[in-house]
Structure 1
């Protein structure tokens, strides 16, 4: 009977047959037939994965599809590491950096240490840390291995999140190690030993063998119910050298070894059994058993109050009643596509914004199985009440005699309407609404709208008054008194009505026009005057007409100034004034100057000896009827003082600005004249801006003339425009490859400098300026100068140079090229990257200058070593150089010994040489040696050549030969033999 085994599959032992394994020592023998080797072998593996992306300096995303090998039962996972590089110095203490996988917190199993610091790099302040994922679990017992396998089966992705304040990850690698069980060759059955009939067995006392005891040491995961389709067992026997047989769910037991990982487990209960068999073939009949259940079915969830939830709501809060088909399941909710978060079976939200909202919920059972399809509900929140507005009212008057009212209205959105008249209870209504038989008095209609979400808008209102009574006029103060004779220049009548009304007046038979109280009208003509007055209320009701009359003589004389000398202007630089006064009728004049009464006067009025300052001349008059003329006045100022000018300039004595702003003022109101650079005075105003100035000196002059004509003194501003940039002189010196020193100066005193190295931003600098430790490659330096006026050359002065790489040496060719040679001459060609000179040495001799190529002759036998070093232009020597070693061998190998043996049809020739050499054989019948067994190319001191197909009882001759590794050939003298008959 022959049985083959596959890794991960269990067999039941058939008594009477033994099983040999690929590992764990030689197989035992069966009494009936030879044992066979297992057809599987185990070898270690390590696989590393870079994250598909790194987010936020702490979240590593891995493509679960790359983990497909986890489904292959041939892979037994042993360890899983997350190796990360973090910015900063970490200590490596347990729980220093907690870890979450796909949002689930990972916890250590059995309190095992799961985190360590592997290295801290002080140069760049980074820490290399390692999380031992195989020592962590989620959801109270699901291994990271199982969780990743679940993510792969769900075609999702795996996210590892590092937790900690101010944590920032630079990179990460996921590393998985274990063993892989592949196929190995099946050997032929071993031959059974042949009994020796002459031997006599010696009896001895042998104790009765005892069956081993099997024990399962550990199970991972160990929970009785798990969401992992993968499980790992570790087991042992109380007897050394025992083999094990395993069975899953009652299947035939097969040979197995500890630890054992089973993957791809189906949903439901499972039973694992393991039996030990000792070297005597005795099997533990009971074995050890582990029972558990795999739960891979995700729970489903529903919203139990879904039917009562409105699709359009006027509330900013909502509550969802959640129910799952698994009583132990928990819920994760998402609002408006936010991240799923833990939630309650009665999940509520408040203070929600207006608009469309989407609620989704998933159920997660106790093992971490997450439902694939969420229950969801979408609704709209409308918290904005509709706005109601009045479209049209008929009649439109606020006060009317009409006892009917029709009102049209509308809302800003779809809504129904409710109306209230004069504060009555709101009733349903439609636009237009009409009310009739309204009583006299004030009325008010209020209309409000209610939208589809139940929001009640602010009412829109319309008020008006129904008025059916005529108004009554009421007379107030009347000036002058009605029916009197007066010289009043104005008639004023105050009136009102017993209700709100408008009024209409007719004066002296004119147009009947709207008027208000008091009615005032100037008396333009002497004689009789009449006023008719009537009131009309807002509803159009008219009062009785009221008539009032007067007789007036109110014509007053009029005065005006004629010629005023020396000037009628408001300002004068003279101390006298003469003014002619004209009157419309004969009048008596009276004068005052600066509030001092001058008494009765006549035209012209003459003033003299006037002091500097402001003056006011007032002239009045009275006609014979006692009517006073309106006074006339002339205001003027006597100014005998010239104005003083103040001048300000925007720039100083020296500037690089090509424009200037001048601000000037006078000690009194005045006009100005300006003169730029001697072109003459012209009218100007302050401020004045002038641009386009060239290099050189400039001046600006200004003078003022006051309103009286007084001319003030000239004031000046002087400045110089400097537009010329300073010139920089640059000197350069170098004493080493990676160093340089610059000296620079400017042709203008007080200049400051800015410098830039290799295109960097310009910064302040001073001379001399040195740089050292420069990187290999091209470099550039620019220096710019700025004078005190801010003039600078934007290009500056620059210098470019190159820092050469470290000098290196290489050997290009060697003749001869073999490391073993019989040539006593050697030629070497060599080169360098930046060097200009070379020094060479042979076999430890002194180094001396040399050029490529270099030749050496007369080389003696033995090992030789050639060295060459390049030297750059800074006299720096390549510290490594290049070397070449070879061996010269001009000595022919010597045959030390030779023997031969032969049969009827073959012969074997053996010989040795004093040094490793190849072997060839010339041979033939009789004394002929023309036949050749070619050089075998194998260098050894012992040689064997076999000739077959020979004739019996025949004389043969042979010559041995070959060559050493340097190509020196050897040949021994001819030898002969005769084959057996």
Structure 2
């Protein structure tokens, strides 16, 4: 009985093992089928991503090459050979952007130097460059050895605008590209502009001293100034003083030269007036010292012209306003005295009025009366300060103006 039970158990175990094997076989088949169906899809997606990435990379490379080519075209520099002279417009240096230095360069055993280059401040719209790489070859002719230095061709560049410029030289050898020489300079083709500014007054200085400030449109080497018809003098400091200036109109001229050598033409100008003293009356015409007429005519003016007024005092009767042509129709018999004083635009009175006396008599005059005459000192003063050289003409014009 026990044997029968054991046999039945063995048969059950065999059937269970076969069932497990069958189940595993089916499961493995299903898994393999799923894997086979999924793999092509994943592979296709991977290839698509890689292809898309390659397209983007190619676009970036193309775009970079296009930009580099564009920057190259903007930098138009012509290398001249065999003495040819050509000029191209130099707009912008883009070598560092288009051609960055490569890290595989080795140490150089030579030192390049410039032979020809513009000044740091350059006043021309073109420049010439010649440089020596710093390498010397050995040449031989007719059994004689001579040094053969390597020198670059002449390179001309032309500039459309003023401003900061930079010239660069690069060494290239295989995978090596390194900047070996550069030079920065400023192109300035325009002259400076000087402005003269009075300090403490606008047009009229009420003291015999005055200060002026000089303003320039750019840094300059020097500034020269001149007052009236004097000599040119150095006035490069921002401010300068003038002392002992005579009353009247004056002119200051100034010009500068900038760091590039451009000279200002014509010079800047400033006109100003010094009115530091009270006015001075100058008597131009008066009756003779003795006369037998009661009519008297006085003509006078002042050493300055702008804003002058006059007051007259006849025989101590008191000061009254009067004009440059003053007429007395009824002078008294005997000695008459008139005083004349000028008042300027600032309300300053003449320190010492002009005083003139004459005598009115009856009947005939014995001898020749002494006529009035203006002194040479006053004539020179009027010529210098008022520009009046013809007194007779000035008196006639004054009479015509007053009688209209």
Q: TM-score, normalised by structure 2?
A: 0.44
Relative CO higher for 1 or 2, CA cutoff 8 Å, sep ≥ 6? 2
TM-score (norm: length of structure 1) = 0.20
Rg bigger for which structure? 1
